[in-house]
Amino acid sequence: MTERSYLDHAATTRMLPQAQRRWLEVSQLVGNPSSLHDSGRRTRRVVEEARESIAADLHTRPSAVVFTSGGTEADNLAVKGLFWLGEEQGRTRVVASAVEHHAVLDPVRWLSEHEGAQVHWAGVDRLGRVLLDDVRQALDHDDVALCTVMWANNEVGTVQPVQQLADLCRERGVPFHTDAVQVLGQLPINLQDLGAAAVTISSHKIGGPFGAGALIVDPDLRLTPVLHGGGHEREVRSGTLDAAGIAAFAVAVHEAVVHQEGFAREVSALRNHLIERVLLEVPAAQLNGEPRLDGLDRLPANAHFTFSGCEGDALLLLLDAAGIDCSTGSACTAGIPEASHVLLAMGADAEASRGSLRFSLGRETTKADIDHLLDVLPAAVERAGRAGSVRSRS
């Protein structure tokens, strides 16, 4: 087997040893955190300590942290929960960006199809940044139940003006939700400053275990639950709490926040090197998203290209065979690639939207990985270009 270079850290990243240790420790506990006896209290204590740790790291109150099974559940809870809450007050409009992750996009569509929500899809510019004026106009309606715009785009890495969006929404009394899954550990996060109603985070993207996440939501908002049951999390979310997962998640959040600045500095230097070389050595490559690589406008570990004349999935196959793990960055249903809705919203044509790849770097990425990529990418692009032309002809 070829030595592999893993360049898909935005999909998931390796679990941190500290998180792994913590998970093992807590997994030995016997009590259900909702039980009233001593064993239950011991497990509950672990959960509450994790809650406090995460709240402290993100500058919010512990009571705002609602643990979920991951980012998708947190997004569903935010979107549906805020919509149903608003609906009680006659607010049935949803404002969402056109480049949301499917975990937001699909619940919003579902609300529109099944619950009578009127949706305003806010447009984005060429770089994938949401058009503030478009959002502002949509917010002028007095029946907006929620506005949801991701903190940074998972495909092209463009950072959204979430502070301005949060301010706009607060001024108008509209709950603002943002999916911060891609941002945690990559950019500084201060939820007190942000002042959003709800923020989604996820564990496995930052070196915690799969199956854990949280919605950080204003405790004064009585969200309508999505999962009904024992009411374990503030009556907002039911289901036995995964104490080991949550404890390890908290460790990962802490590590991500403590090391954010240094990580961002190092990984962006490597990322910039990757972008520079790809643009230099692969003539068909074109960088998508924010071209300014020196600041807070683009996720520091994200590189996303369109390779003109290529199909992303053909390229992925060739790179896979050559030992490179990367992603088409587009939606996948049962492994079936579709044109990226993000690139389409950015004004790319359908062909370009299928011909793109995302490389996302992580803690363990080295210069050797980038050398490896550049060793194989030019030939793969050339070959995929031929396969691409076959496809469009047949």
Partner 1 sequence: MKVLAAMSGGVDSSVAAARMVDAGHDVTGVHLALAKSSPVPGSRGCCTLDDARDARRVADRLDIAFYVWDLSDEFRREVMDDFVAEYRAGHTPNPCMRCNERIKFLALLERAVALGFDAVATGHYAQVIAGPGGPELHRGADPDKDQSYVLGMLEQWQLEHTLLPLGGDSKGQVRAEAQERGLLTASKPDSHDICFIPDGDTAGFLRRTLGDEPGDIVDVETGAVLAHHAGAYGYTIGQRRGLDLTVPAVDGRPRYVVDVDVQARTVFVGPPSLLDVDRIIGARPTWTGSALDAAVQACQAQVRAHGAALGALASVTDAGLVIDLDEPVRGLASGQGVVLYDGTRVIGSATVESTRRVVRT
Q: Which residues are catalytic?
A: 332
Residue 375 contacts partner 1 per CB under 8 A: no
Closer to partner 1 at the Cβ: 119 or 331? 331
Binding of residue 386 to partner 1 (CB under 8 A): yes
Q: Which is nearer to partner 1, 202 or 340 (CB)?
A: 340
Establish if 350 lies at the interface with partner 1 (CB under 8 A): no
Residue from the set 3, 30, 140, 336 that interacts with partner 1 by CB under 8 A: 336
β-bridge partners, 327: 358
Please state at what angle helix 243-258 crosses helix 17-27, rounded to 10 degrees.
Answer: 160
Decide whether 86 or 385 has the Cβ nearer to partner 1: 385
Please report the DSSP string for 135-155 in residue order.
Answer: HHHHHTSTTEEEEE--SB-TT
Q: x/- string (CB under 8 A) for partner 1, residues 195-214? A: --------------------
Kindly state the smallest distance separating residue 314's Cβ from partner 1, in Å: 6
CA-CA distance, 194 to 164, in Å (whole number)? Answer: 9
- Is 24 a binder of partner 1 (CB under 8 A)? no
The least CB distance from residue 393 to partner 1, in Å, is 8
* Among the listed residues 113, 115, 193, 338, the single contact to partner 1 using CB under 8 A: 338
- Secondary structure element (H or E) that encloses residue 46, with its range: helix 38-58
| Sign of torsion over alpha carbons 226, 231, 235, 238 | negative
Pairing of strands 65-68, 213-217: antiparallel
335 binds partner 1 (CB under 8 A): yes
Task: Kindly indicate which of the ranges 67-75, 147-155, 172-180, 315-323 contains the residues binding partner 1, using the contact rule CB under 8 A.
Answer: 315-323
In contact, 324 and 376? CB cutoff 8 Å: yes
Distances (CA, A) of 374 to 10, 134, 155, 277, 388: 20, 40, 21, 7, 21
Binding site for partner 1 (CB under 8 A): 313-314, 317-318, 320-321, 334-338, 383-384, 386-387, 389-391, 394
